[in-house]
Amino acid sequence: MIKAMDETVDPCDDFHEYACGRYLKENVIPEDKTSIGRFVTLDDEVRLKLRASLEEDVGPNDIKATIKAKDMYAACVNETLIENRRMTPMRDYINSLGGWPILGNVSWSTWKENEFDWQSLAAQTRRLSIFALMSPIVDIDSKNSSVFILKLEHAYQLGMPGSNSREYLLNGRNDTFVKAYEEWMVSFVMLMKETDDKTIEAKVRKDVGDVIDFDMEIANITISKEERRDRERFYNKWTIEFLQKNITEVDWLRYFNKVFEGVNVTIKKDLEINVAVPQYIRNLIALVNRTPKHVVANYLLWIAMTDAGGLHLSVGIDFKEIKYRYNEVLFGSTLDKPRWELCTVFTADYLIKLPSSRLYLANNFNRESKKVALDMVHELKLSFAEMVKELDWMDDATKKVALDKLEAMRMIIGFEDFILEDAERLNKEYEELKINRGQMFESVVEGMYYLANNGLKKIGQLVTDENSGLSQALPPHQVNAAYDPSLNQMIFASGILQGLFFNKDFPKALNFGAIGVVIGHEMTHGFDDEGRLYDKDGNLFQWWSENVIKDFKKRAQCFINQYGNFTIPEINMNLNGINTQGENIADNGGLKQALSAYRNWAKRQDGRENGLPGLALSNEQLFFLSFAQIWCGKERPEQLIKRVRTLRHPNGRFRAFGTLQNCPDFSEAFNCKKGDKMNPENKCKLW
């Protein structure tokens, strides 16, 4: 802790600099990374351990599912074989989707305009886990959380790769990042055509421009992140028959049945679905119908090749190099990540999550730590309950329902036991996934089908612990935690229950300041501007009185204003206070909860807890230092721009700075005077 600090800084002037100043001065962002920080360091350690597990020879302790993970990793790192096969598998893949018109008259291309049907191709690509144009997904019913429902959403993927590319595209063709996207697509097509002829390139550039214009038009009709926070607005339960009468240009029964072709489900006209964005669907169909067929086909095939699973890892080095040039502009990193790391991320974080976690957990988790962490969660729950009871802006009736929701909140600490103890269940979950060590490209395509089928087959099923998907969404090896409002459930992955975040032998002040705040953060998500819309059973339901809602929104606006006025000096841009409000509410609530829980624990010990040698700080000061130091880190300007434009979390500096500004107990602990930067007169408070 001492090595990270700059004790020459006044903690009442800038506590983040006081806590992290030396760390920031002495650490440089590696060329292959967009940031450094405590999360990144721990993530790197976990990936090295995962790599070691994935590279081990298959042994007697392996099960079928873990063998598939090892096979996938082995296929991915075999660059020699991938290079030898070059474009052959990609050509077969393109033709299986009907061909790619942008390639023109290359001998192997099969596209025929008179046979093109965008609805069929959109359904076919959806079966490959591609969410272009529109996204039919199977999800927990927001108003009946006991069952899975079909939901029709807007495009989750645009032609510019990344789930957050909308805000870049809205800036137009002259945006630096959009220009990089254009150059990448032109280079990709020229490689596929195997020519550097300038006349051909000019034609390709025109076709690419049409695709990007189409992409920008789609971005323009998608729903902004600010609007998406109103969950009630995006719940519209229609039968497919009603959908057909209201939006007639698509044969919906044919479309949905093609989507579900791989899971032997027949969709009928009386099926109720959630048409989340009817106006977007109308606008999309109008756009597609006025766009030339070849442009739509070029768009869908581009996404199917470049933003689908691990296909970018399945082609030759020349394709990798042009993708890297795009990434360099978008993310600022000047060196690509090593192959082993890319393959570890693809295998363990995307395709074969739980078997990879099983390999990791076998050697890297202490069950005693799981028990200590569980005890902390119970302490945090008690402190949050006390906070609710003391609120002066919430009436008694709403408090009772809030406390009922808190009591019903479930949790996964570290991992679900079946991952280590039920080989049969794990093997069954992955039995349909076919992996071939000698065929990386085909294995990735199989994986895309597998992931799509795994989600689609849940339609109409009752929601259970086995199929809810929470451990799949956040596998145990990841350095993260989450809250799912539809399940009213928290998960704290094993990956985050270590390092500076948590150690069962650390002083409690440090554990409560780090992982304790993380636990409180996730718990508070159940009561932030989005989580509060769900009841204790995970249903979208208005359980707040109108006066309480009014007071909540007024207090939430304080956070929007506070964080929206923070300027990131490296890029001279302000944080988005609206998009980050849920995280900021959770950070502030989590800190207050964790401090209260620590104080309750300390009282039971009669104050008997040793401090840290070499630091003349009280235990409560250590608590705040531990909290601030989990946010030690820095990011490249490109990553900061992405954060402001598209992400839900502020950067680490303002997560520490803003939260501590609002905390009177912090100012008291460090004797900060009213009017000091860390102790402003006006503070935001919700929970």
Is 14 one of the annotated active-site residues of the chain? no
DSSP string, 448-496: HHHHHHHHHTTTTPBP-TTTS-HHHHS-TTSS-EEEETTTTEEEEEGGG
Q: Which of 489, 470, 468 is nearest to 410 (CA)?
A: 489
Q: Which of 254, 347, 252 is nearest to 309 (CA)?
A: 347
Is-contact 73 55, C-beta < 8 A? Answer: yes
Distance, in Å, from the CA atom of 669 to the CA atom of 665, rounded to the nearest integer, reads: 6
CATH H-level superfamily of 10-50+351-458+465-669: Collagenase (Catalytic Domain) (3.40.390.10)
Q: Which of 384, 390, 306, 347 is nearest to 125 (CA)?
A: 306
Distance, in Å, from the CA atom of 595 to the CA atom of 590, rounded to the nearest integer, reads: 9
Q: Which of 67, 47, 76 is nearest to 444 (CA)?
A: 76
User: Looking at the chain, which residues constitute the CATH 3.40.390.10 domain(s)?
Assistant: 10-50+351-458+465-669
In 158-252, the DSSP E strands lie at 237-239
Residue range 87-170+220-314 forms a domain whose CATH class is mainly alpha
Is-contact 216 170, C-beta < 8 A? Answer: yes
Is-contact 303 437, C-beta < 8 A? Answer: no
**Residues whose CB is less than 8 angstroms from the CB of residue 521 and which lie 6 or more positions away in sequence, other chains included:** 481, 586, 587, 589, 590
Q: Quote the radius of gyration of the chain (alpha carbons, Å).
A: 26
pLDDT tens digits for 613-669?
A: 888 899 999 999 999 999 999 999 999 999 999 899 999 999 999 999 999 999 999
Q: Which of 416, 385, 665 is nearest to 524 (CA)?
A: 385
**Predicted pLDDT at 163:** 58
DSSP string, 70-87: HHHHHHHH-HHHHHHHTT
3-state helix, strand, coil in the chain (%, to 5): 55, 10, 35
Distances (CA, A) of 175 to 54, 55, 78, 167: 41, 42, 37, 11
Is-contact 458 140, C-beta < 8 A? Answer: no
Is-contact 459 137, C-beta < 8 A? Answer: no
> pTM for this structure?
0.94
One of 141, 522, 583, 620 is an active-site residue; which one? 522
User: Looking at the chain, which residues constitute the CATH 1.10.1380.10 domain(s)?
Assistant: 87-170+220-314
b/e 334-371 (16+ beta carbons within 10 angstroms → b):
eebbeebbbbbbbbbebbbbbbbbbbbbeebbeeebbe
Which residues on neighbouring strands pair with residue 483, listed in sequence order?
490
Distance, in Å, from the CA atom of 24 to the CA atom of 643, rounded to the nearest integer, reads: 19
Low-confidence ranges of the chain (pLDDT < 70): 162-163, 607
Residue showing tokens 């809030």:
402
Amino acid letter, 48 = L
One of 14, 307, 379, 587 is an active-site residue; which one? 587
Is 197 one of the annotated active-site residues of the chain? no
